[in-house]
């Protein structure tokens, strides 16, 4: 890890925990300041880290200081608009007997010492499959001038509404699960955790308004899975991992009285969904790089006392592949590198697409999806097979327009 990366992680940890960084010392050259700001943007945590730097009054080029101030100010200006968007959306849906649940980023805002510094893109609202079409109709009627459309690869997951104060993603499901076995397990957990009698509530600094969020154990599973899907499909940055870090601390403290139940819940469902190794990889960053106490990442392999057998092999695997995983996060951040982006968009050019037959275009998409899963083999044979099967299943489903294809 470079000096710039180590400094970035230390300041980020201070920012998300509220600890003072006044006693922490470092020095940067002009080139290192440029690398530091680029890393902060790449990780999606610019305002969080820049505010921490500005509060320390470190010596830096004046143009860097002005850029940091501007970034923080622009980020803080988004908070009131999103707050209004949240109240408008939830109020409109609840008036029609719909029970929305707030997901991920904005639902975790209160875990941050300065919620307004977390970067925001949109508002994620879960309504469930039963109320999905009714909720879409309510928002279309309430906001007739909104732009709304289904995304090509996520038409079964959420619907987009561009409302006056920002973008709302209205979710039919919290995560799109492709394989029938995964659907059966995950969606049953999702339905149970979002029932009106099971949800938890946050205030989001508005004491007179309670906003429902998913039940605690499931929320931890979902937030982790959301981060892992970012890594597989789009690119994972410390923005998503800060959410995971803070929620892991909260969930551990919240579930501590029944820690055996929490550990059993996570182990059972992570194993059933082929996610135990991804759980360990993200745990490696949480514990080894962000100093989360290992006990707060339930079932963490490097916290195992036994020095022999499968435990030793698990440790060796995690130490090797955890570093590969962390290196990829630092290098790519919230967006894939240019080579991966070129691969994803190679056949998106309109002129090329018009020259291909419909069947050939779908076959190209299938081959690209299979190729995009190949790199997973370096991390986990078991999970690579699962992802490869999922990629093939996804491609075959679109190619032949089949609703269900069982591959294993």
257 & 238 share domain:
yes
Give the domain CATH number at 204.
3.30.460
52 & 40 share domain:
yes
7 & 88 share domain:
no
Please report the beta strands in 354-407, taking only residues with DSSP state E, as ranges in sequence order: none
pTM for this one?
0.80
Q: List pLDDT tens digits, range 111-150.
A: 899 988 888 778 889 998 888 888 888 888 888 777 655 4
Q: What is the pLDDT of residue 100?
A: 93
What letter does residue 378 receive in the DSSP assignment? G
User: Mean of the pLDDT values across residues 249-262?
Assistant: 81
Q: List pLDDT tens digits, range 298-340.
A: 989 886 665 556 788 888 888 888 898 899 899 888 865 443 4
Q: How many helices (H) and strands (E) does the chain have?
A: 16, 7
Domain count, the chain: 4
Closest CA to 141 of 133, 130, 131: 133
Cα separation of 76 and 17, whole Å?
19
Question: Do the domain assignments include residue 229?
Answer: no
Q: List pLDDT tens digits, range 171-198.
A: 888 988 877 788 899 999 999 999 999 9
Question: Do the domain assignments include residue 350?
Answer: yes
Instruction: Centre a 10 Å sphere on the Cβ of residue 332 and count the other Cβ atoms it contains.
Output: 18
* Helices 62-95, 46-56: crossing angle, 10 deg rounding: 130
Q: Are 280 and 301 in contact (CB under 8 A)?
A: yes
Cα separation of 15 and 30, whole Å?
23
**For residue 127, what is the enclosing H or E element?**
none
Cα separation of 273 and 175, whole Å?
13
Q: What is the pLDDT of residue 206?
A: 57
Give the chain's largest Cα–Cα span: 64
User: Mean of the pLDDT values across residues 68-84?
Assistant: 87
Please, what sign has the CA dihedral across residues 52, 56, 59, 62?
A: positive
Question: Do the domain assignments include residue 222?
Answer: no
Please, what sign has the CA dihedral across residues 218, 223, 224, 230?
A: positive
Q: Are 16 and 48 in contact (CB under 8 A)?
A: yes
Question: Do the domain assignments include residue 327?
Answer: yes
Question: Do the domain assignments include residue 72?
Answer: no
Question: Do the domain assignments include residue 408?
Answer: no
Q: Which residues form the domain of 143?
A: 77-214
162 & 141 share domain:
yes
Pairing of strands 200-202, 211-213: antiparallel
39 token code pair: 């890393």
Cα separation of 390 and 406, whole Å?
10
53 & 81 share domain:
no
24 & 152 share domain:
no
Instruction: Please say if the pLDDT value at position 393 is more than 80.
Output: no
Q: Give 397's contacts (C-beta < 8 A, 6+ positions apart).
A: 178, 403, 405
Cα separation of 337 and 95, whole Å?
45
Q: According to the 3-state scheme, what is the secondary structure of 6-69?
A: HHHHHHHHHHHHCCCCCCCCCCCCHHHHHHHHHHHHHCCCHHHHHHHHHHHCCCCCHHHHHHHH
User: Mean of the pLDDT values across residues 221-250?
Assistant: 90
What letter does residue 230 receive in the DSSP assignment? I
Instruction: Centre a 10 Å sphere on the Cβ of residue 56 and count the other Cβ atoms it contains.
Output: 15
324 & 358 share domain:
no
């Amino acid at each position: 890890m470079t000096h710039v990366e180590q400094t970035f992680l230390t300041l980020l940890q201070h920012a998300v925990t509220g600890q003072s960084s006044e006693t922490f010392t470092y020095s940067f050259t002009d080139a290192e300041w440029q690398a530091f700001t680029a890393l902060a943007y790449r990780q999606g945590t610019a305002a969080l880290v820049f505010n921490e730097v500005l509060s320390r009054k470190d010596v830096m080029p004046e143009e860097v200081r002005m850029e940091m101030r501007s970034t923080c100010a622009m980020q803080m200006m988004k908070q009131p608009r999103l707050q209004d968007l949240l109240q408008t959306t939830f109020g409109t849906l609840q008036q029609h007997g719909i029970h929305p649940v707030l997901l991920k980023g904005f639902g975790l805002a209160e875990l941050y010492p300065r919620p307004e510094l977390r970067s925001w893109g949109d508002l994620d609202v879960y309504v469930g499959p039963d109320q999905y079409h009714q909720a879409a109709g309510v928002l279309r009627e309430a906001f007739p001038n909104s732009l709304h459309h289904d995304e090509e690869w996520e038409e079964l997951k959420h619907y987009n509404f561009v409302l006056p104060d920002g973008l709302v993603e209205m979710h039919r499901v919290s995560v799109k699960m492709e394989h029938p076995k995964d659907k059966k397990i995950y969606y049953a957990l999702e339905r149970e955790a979002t029932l009106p009698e099971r949800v938890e509530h946050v205030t989001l600094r508005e004491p007179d308004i309670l906003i429902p969020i998913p039940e605690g154990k499931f929320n931890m599973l979902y937030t982790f899975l959301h981060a892992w899907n970012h890594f597989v499909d789009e690119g994972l940055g410390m923005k998503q991992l800060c959410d995971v870090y803070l929620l892991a601390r909260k969930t551990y403290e919240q579930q501590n009285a029944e820690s055996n139940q929490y550990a059993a819940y996570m182990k059972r469902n992570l194993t059933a969904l082929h996610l135990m190794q991804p759980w360990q990889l993200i745990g490696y960053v949480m514990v080894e790089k962000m100093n989360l106490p290992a006990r707060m990442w339930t079932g963490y392999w490097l916290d195992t006392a036994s020095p022999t057998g499968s435990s030793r092999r698990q440790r060796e695997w995690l130490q090797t592949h955890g570093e590969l995983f962390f290196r990829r996060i630092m290098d790519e951040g919230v967006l894939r590198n240019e080579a991966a982006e070129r691969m994803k968009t190679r056949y998106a050019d309109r002129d090329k697409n018009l020259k291909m037959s419909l069947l050939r275009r779908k076959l190209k998409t299938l081959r690209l999806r299979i190729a995009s899963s190949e790199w997973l083999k370096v991390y986990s044979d078991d999970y690579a097979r699962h992802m490869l099967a999922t990629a093939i299943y996804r491609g075959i489903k679109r190619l032949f327009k089949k609703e269900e294809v069982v591959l294993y």
